[in-house]
C-alpha cells in the first residue's frame, strides 16, 4: 500500500488540487469557531466520518468540527500544554469521547492507512505530504492552511477497490467483484457490535448489506437475545457506516419488518427477495422501509428520505444501473424509473419471475413465465425473447453472454440476439453462480 504513495501524490498535485474561496487568517481568527467549522466542512464536502485536526491548539475549532453525531473528531498537537487545554475545553462542552485530543510527534500520524475522511492541517511543520495522504481514505479530503487560505485536496478512488451495490454485486447478478485488494486478512481495521446474532435456529439478524461511495449499508435486527422458545420482540434498523473506519453515520428504524411479515420463522427462512430490496447508487440509497411499503430514496450521507416513489407498493426487488431504477413486482409487472427525476420510463406486465431479473447499462433481462425477454434499459423496447422452459433460479449477465440456472440445467444465451449457445446438466442446489 505504501508503494502507491508516489503515484498518488503525483496525481493529486497535477490534477486534483482544488482551492476554494476561503477566509483570510485574520478574518478566520475573528470569527467564532462554529462558523469556521461549518465553512470548513462546506468547503471540504465531507458529510460524516472521522475528522482529524492537526495543530488543534486550544481545541475550539476541533470541538466545533463535531457539528452532529455523524462526525468523530480528534485533535492532534505536538505541544502537551495545548493538548491539555484542548481536552479541558472539550470536556467543558460535554463532548469528550466523540471529540478528543492527543499529542503526537509532529512527523507520524497515529493512524493506519486509509482511515481518515477529513484531515485539517493548521501547520504542516515536519509532517510530509505523503504522510498526510497515507492516512486519508479514498475520497477523503485534505485541507491545509497555507498563507491564510485552506488548500483542498481530494484523494481519488483507486481502481483496485470495487463497489458492491446490490445483493449480488451489481445489477448483472454476477457476484464476482473486480476488487484486487481482496485477500487473506492481515490486520483488524475496525469492528462494531453486536458480535453475534440473536439466534442460530431462526432468522439471522443480518439480512442485507451493500456498499458504495465509501459507505456500507445493512439491515440488522437489534432486538435483545432471548433464552426462551418465544423470542423477544425484534427491532429492525437500516444502518449506515463509513466503510473505511466504521463510524456510525445514521440508522433508521424499519417498522413492519421481519419474520412476522415474511410469514416464516424456521432456519434460513428469509425470503430470497428480501436482500434484493436494498440498493445503493452514488449518493442515494433505494429501499422499502417496511415490508409492504413503497420504495423510498434516501440520502446516503444522512439517511434523510428524499422522496417516495408513487405506485411502488408491492415491489420485492430492486436493480439500479446508470441512473435507471428497476422495480420488480413478481407475477405482476416490471417498472423502469429515472432515478434522477423519479419519472416512470416504461412498464411491462406479466408473470415476472422472482430473482430472475438482471440488467446492464443498455439492456434489462427478465423471465416472463417460461420465456426469457430482453428489452432496452431506457426505452423498454423488446429486443428478443426465447423460451427457456422451467423458471430460472438465477440469471447472470457476463459480457455478451447470459447465463441461466434453472432446475437441473445451466444454459447460455447470446445477450445480443437471444440465441441459445449451449446447455449442460447442473446439480440441483442453492442458486449460486459465479462467472
Q: Can you read off the three cell numbers belonging to residue 8?
A: 498518488
d(CA 394, CA 372): 12
372 in Cβ contact with 417 (< 8 Å): no
User: Which residue's C-alpha cell is 445489477?
Assistant: 171
pTM of the model: 0.89
State the Cα–Cα distance between residues 328 and 312, nearest whole angstrom.
9
Q: Return d(Cα 88, Cα 77) in angstroms, integer.
A: 14
Q: How many residues does the chain have?
A: 435
Name the residue ranges covered by the structural domains of the chain: 2-154, 206-425
Q: Are 377 and 321 in contact (CB under 8 A)?
A: yes
Q: What is the pLDDT of residue 197?
A: 83
CATH code at 2-154: 3.40.50.150
Return the CATH fold of 206-425. Answer: Methylamine Dehydrogenase; Chain H (2.130.10)
Strand partners, 18: 152
Total Cβ atoms within 10 A of residue 184: 4
3-state SS of 382-417? EEEEEECCCCCCEEEEECCEEEEEECCEEEEEECCC
Decide: 227 and 193 in contact? Cβ < 8 Å: no
Q: Specify the 3-state DSSP secondary structure of 121.
A: strand
Question: Which stretch of DSSP H or E encloses residue 87?
Answer: helix 80-92
- Segments in the chain below pLDDT 50: 1-30
> Which one-letter DSSP state was computed for residue 234?
P
* All cell numbers assigned to 47: 458529510
**Distant-in-sequence, close-in-space partners of 195: CB < 8 Å, separation ≥ 6:** none
Specify whether the CB–CB gap between 279 and 166 falls below 8 A: yes
pLDDT at 7: 35
Amino acid at each position: 500500500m505504501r508503494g502507491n504513495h508516489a503515484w498518488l501524490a503525483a496525481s493529486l498535485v497535477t490534477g486534483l488540487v482544488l482551492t476554494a474561496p476561503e477566509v483570510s487568517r485574520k478574518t478566520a481568527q475573528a470569527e467564532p469557531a462554529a462558523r469556521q467549522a461549518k465553512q470548513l466542512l462546506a468547503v471540504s464536502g465531507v458529510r460524516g466520518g472521522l475528522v482529524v485536526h492537526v495543530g488543534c491548539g486550544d481545541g475550539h475549532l476541533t470541538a466545533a468540527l463535531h457539528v452532529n453525531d455523524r462526525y468523530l473528531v480528534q485533535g492532534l498537537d505536538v505541544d502537551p500544554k495545548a493538548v491539555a487545554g484542548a481536552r479541558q475545553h472539550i470536556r467543558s462542552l460535554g463532548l469528550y469521547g466523540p471529540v478528543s485530543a492527543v499529542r503526537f510527534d509532529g512527523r507520524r500520524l497515529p493512524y493506519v492507512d486509509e482511515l481518515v475522511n477529513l484531515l485539517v492541517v493548521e501547520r504542516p511543520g515536519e509532517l510530509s505530504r505523503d504522510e498526510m495522504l497515507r492516512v486519508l481514505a479514498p475520497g477523503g479530503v485534505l485541507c491545509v492552511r497555507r498563507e491564510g487560505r485552506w488548500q483542498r485536496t481530494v484523494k481519488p478512488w483507486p481502481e483496485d477497490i470495487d463497489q458492491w451495490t446490490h445483493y449480488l454485486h451489481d445489477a448483472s447478478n454476477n457476484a464476482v467483484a473486480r476488487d484486487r485488494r481482496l485477500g487473506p486478512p492481515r490486520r483488524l481495521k475496525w469492528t462494531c457490535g453486536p458480535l453475534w446474532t440473536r439466534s442460530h435456529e431462526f432468522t439471522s439478524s443480518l439480512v442485507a448489506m451493500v456498499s458504495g461511495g465509501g459507505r456500507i449499508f445493512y439491515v440488522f435486527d437489534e432486538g435483545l437475545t432471548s433464552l426462551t422458545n418465544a423470542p423477544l420482540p425484534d427491532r429492525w434498523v437500516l444502518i449506515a457506516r463509513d466503510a473505511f473506519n466504521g463510524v456510525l453515520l445514521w440508522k433508521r428504524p424499519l417498522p413492519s419488518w421481519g419474520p412476522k411479515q415474511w410469514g416464516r420463522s424456521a432456519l434460513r427462512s428469509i425470503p430470497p427477495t428480501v436482500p434484493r430490496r436494498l440498493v445503493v447508487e452514488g449518493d442515494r440509497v433505494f429501499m422499502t422501509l417496511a415490508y409492504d411499503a413503497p420504495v423510498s430514496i434516501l440520502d446516503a450521507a444522512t439517511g434523510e428520505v428524499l422522496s417516495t416513489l408513487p405506485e411502488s407498493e408491492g415491489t420485492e426487488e430492486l436493480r439500479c444501473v446508470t441512473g435507471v431504477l428497476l422495480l420488480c413486482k413478481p407475477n405482476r409487472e416490471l417498472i423502469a424509473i429515472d432515478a434522477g427525476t423519479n419519472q416512470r420510463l416504461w412498464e411491462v406486465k406479466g408473470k415476472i419471475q422472482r430473482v430472475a431479473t438482471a440488467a446492464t447499462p443498455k439492456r434489462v433481462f427478465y423471465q416472463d413465465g417460461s420465456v426469457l425477454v430482453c428489452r432496452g434499459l431506457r426505452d423498454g423496447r423488446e429486443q428478443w425473447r426465447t423460451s427457456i422452459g422451467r423458471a430460472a433460479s438465477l440469471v447472470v449477465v457476463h459480457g455478451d453472454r447470459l447465463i441461466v440456472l434453472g432446475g437441473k440445467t445451466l444454459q447460455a444465451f447470446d445477450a445480443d440476439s437471444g440465441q441459445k449457445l449451449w446447455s449442460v446438466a447442473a446439480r440441483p442446489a442453492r442458486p449460486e453462480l459465479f462467472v
